[in-house]
Chains A and B, each alone.
Chain A
C-alpha cells in the first residue's frame, strides 16, 4: 500500500490528542484509512444516552473525495437508512477538501440533534416523523435504549 498522506497522519494524531467532545475515532490497527467511530447521542435528543458505533473509511483520493461513513448501530432516524447509510450533503455534493474527519463527525452529531424529515433517506421513518413527531421520537428513544445502550457489545 502507498504511503499514508501527511494529511491523514495529522488528522489521526489530532483526533487522539484533542478529541472532539462526545466523539471518538480510532484508526484500525491493520488499515490506517479505516476508523472505528463512536458518537454519543446528543443531550436533549431522543438519542441521548446512546453510544452509536460508526465506520469511517478514507478513500484513495481523500481529501479530494469525501470519506465513506456508515452507522453500524441501528438507529431510528429519518436521514439514516436501515443499512446505516447517512443522507448528509457534505458527504455527497457539498464535500470540500477543506473539511476533515472531525468536521464530518460533528455534522453527523448535529444531524442527530436536528433530524431533517424533508430530505429523507428512510421514507417510512420520515413519514412518521412528519405525521406524528411524538410517536417517532418515542420510537427513536426506544431504539436508542434497545440498540445503543448495550455496553457489552461495544
Chain B
C-alpha cells in the first residue's frame, strides 16, 4: 500500500512538471519512476546531434576493423548500427559479412577473373560493331554504358570490378537519387548487386542540389535503420527521439519541440494499453466501417425520459436533461442514480451466450453489434477529448474573470488546469482501452480488464462532472477525485501494458 502511495505522490509531481512545462529540471531523481508502466527514458535530439552520434559509431567501427568510413557506414546501416555485432561477425567470417552487406560480390570462386571476363565480354559486344571507333588509340577504353572511349583514368569501379566511366556513374547516381534511392544504389552492371558506398557518390555527383538530396535521404535511411532512433511524426518537426533505455517498447513519447505524442515502437498515436498490431488492425477496421458506424451512432440522442432530442456539448457522460431534469448516462441511457451508487458497467459489452447456435445472419448482426458497441465508446471518448479542449478554454475564461474580480489569485485557480489536464490524460487512456477489449478473448482476463475499465470510466465521469462544476465543488473533493482517477488509470496500465501482456492475443 505504501508503495502505491508513493507513486501517487509521484504523479502529482509529474502534473506539476507538465504544467510548468519544465520536464528537463529533473531535480528529483527518485527511482520509483520505474514503477510507472508508462515511464520511458528518451532524449529529443536535433539532426546535428544525431549526425554526430552516427559519425561516432562510424569512427568506433573504423578503429576496430580496417575498412573505409563509407563502407563502415554500409555495414552499420545493414546491422542496425550495432558495432559489437559487426566486429564479432567480421572476426568470424569477414568475407561472408562483406558479401551479405553487399559490399563485395557473392562470387566466391575467383571473383577477379570472372568479373574481368564479363567486362571484356561487354566491351567486345560493342567492338564487334564495325564502326570507325576511336580504338586507334590503344590507351582508350570503351565504357559499356555510353559506348564512348575514354582514357583509363576516367573509369571508376567497385569491389566487383565492374568498370564504367565517371560520367555514366554520376548520371546513374543522379537518376537513382531523383527516385529517392540512396543507400541502396547498386552497381550498374547486369545482375550485380554490389552497393555503392557514400564516398563514390559524393565524389562523382557535382550538382549541389543532388548532393544535398543524397545526404538528406541517406540520413533518413540511417536513422530508420537505427533501432534506438525515431523521427518525430509531428508535421514539419525535425526532432529525432532516441530511446536511452536500450529497448524498443510501445511507450509514450512526447516531442519536446512540437509536443506530438506518439508510440515509440510504431510511431503512431500513443495507444496503451492496446498494442501496436492491434491498434493498427482497429484503425483499419474503423476506417473501413466508419460510414456505417457514423450513421448508426449519430451525434444526438433522445432523453430516455421525455424524449427530447439532446446534443452533447460537454465531455461528461452524466447528462442532466434541461427539459425534464432527468439525470441519465449518455452511454447506456440508463438512470444515472445506478451509476453513482451501484457497480458501473455500461462500459462492458455483454456477449450473447447462445451465439454459436444462431444463424449466420444473426452471427453477422451480433458481430456488427459488438463492433459498434466498442466503436461507439471509442468515438465517444475521442469526441469527449475534443470537447474537453473547449472545457479548458472555458475554464481559462472563467479563471480570468475571477481574477479580474479579485476572487482569488491566478495561482489559486491553477488546480483547475491540473484537473483538466489529468482528465484529458485519463480519458485518452480510456479511449485506447476499447480496441484492446474488442480484440480480447472472453475469459477471466477480459473480465478483469473490463472491471478495471469500468472503474476507470466511472471515476473519469465523476472527475469530468466535478471539473465542469468546479466553483461549487470543494477543492479537497476534487483533488481526491483526481487521485482516484489517476490511480485507476495506472492500475489498469500496470496490469495490461502492451509489452508485458502482448501474448494474450491469438
Contacts and interface: CB of A to CB of B under 8 A. Distances in A.
A13 B145 CA distance: 16
A88 B151 CA distance: 36
Given A64-B172, A96-B190, A14 B129 contact: yes
Interface residues of A, number: 21
A74 B189 CA distance: 33
A5 interface: yes
Given A10-B129, A17-B129, A18-B128, A96 B188 contact: yes
A29 interface: no
A61 B188 contact: no
B146 A7 contact: yes
Interface in B140-157: 144-148
B169 to A, nearest CB: 10
Interface in A50-88: 61, 63-65
A128 to B, nearest CB: 32
A99 interface: yes
Contacts of A94: 191
A21 interface: no
Contacts of A63: 145
A97 B172 contact: yes
Contact of A6 (B130, B144, B147): B147
Given A96-B191, A98-B122, A98-B144, A64 B129 contact: no
B188 A97 contact: yes
Given A14-B129, A17-B129, A98 B148 contact: no
A7 B191 contact: no
A10 B126 contact: yes
B188 A10 contact: no
Given A65-B175, A96-B189, A96-B192, A7 B145 contact: yes
Contacts of A65: 175
A96 B118 CA distance: 14
A124 B175 CA distance: 35
B287 interface: no
B112 to A, nearest CB: 18
A17 B130 contact: yes
Contacts of A7: 145-148
Interface string B181-192: 000000011111
Interface residues of B, number: 24
Given A17-B130, A18-B128, A96-B191, A10 B144 contact: no
Contacts of A13: 129, 131
* A interface secondary structure, majority: loop
A47 to B, nearest CB: 25
Contacts of A18: 128-129
A98 B189 contact: yes
A136 to B, nearest CB: 30
A61 B148 contact: no
Contacts of B162: 98
A6 B167 CA distance: 14
A61 B175 contact: yes
A143 B126 CA distance: 38
B146 to A, nearest CB: 5
Contacts of B148: 6-7
A97 B146 CA distance: 9
A63 B145 CA distance: 7
A103 B131 CA distance: 20
Contacts of A14: 126, 128-129
Contacts of A90: 190
Contact of B171 (A10, A61, A100): A61
Contacts of A103: 190
A66 to B, nearest CB: 11
Interface in A23-65: 61, 63-65
Nearest to B118: A98
B278 interface: no
A100 B121 CA distance: 14
A64 B190 contact: no
A64 B147 CA distance: 13
Contacts of A64: 171-172, 174-175
Interface in B111-136: 122, 125-126, 128-131
B202 interface: no
Contacts of A100: 125
B440 interface: no
B177 to A, nearest CB: 11
A10 B125 CA distance: 11
B210 interface: no
A130 B373 CA distance: 45
A23 to B, nearest CB: 16
Nearest to A65: B175
Contacts of B204: none
A6 B129 contact: no
B168 interface: yes
A8 to B, nearest CB: 9
Nearest to A7: B147
B166 to A, nearest CB: 14
Contacts of B190: 90, 96, 98-99, 103
Given A96-B189, A97-B172, A98-B122, A6 B146 contact: yes
Contact of A97 (B125, B128, B145): B145
Contacts of B130: 17
Contacts of B191: 94, 96
**Pairs of residues from A and B, 8 with the lowest C-beta to C-beta distance, nearest first:** A64-B175, A7-B147, A96-B190, A10-B147, A97-B188, A97-B145, A14-B129, A98-B190
Given A10-B126, A13-B131, 10 more contacts: A7-B147, A14-B129, A17-B129, A64-B174, A90-B190, A96-B190, A98-B145, A98-B162, A98-B189, A99-B190
23 contacts: A6-B146, A6-B148, A7-B145, A10-B131, A10-B147, A13-B131, A14-B128, A18-B129, A61-B171, A61-B175, A64-B171, A64-B174, A64-B175, A90-B190, A96-B188, A96-B189, A97-B168, A98-B145, A98-B162, A98-B164, A98-B190, A99-B190, A100-B125
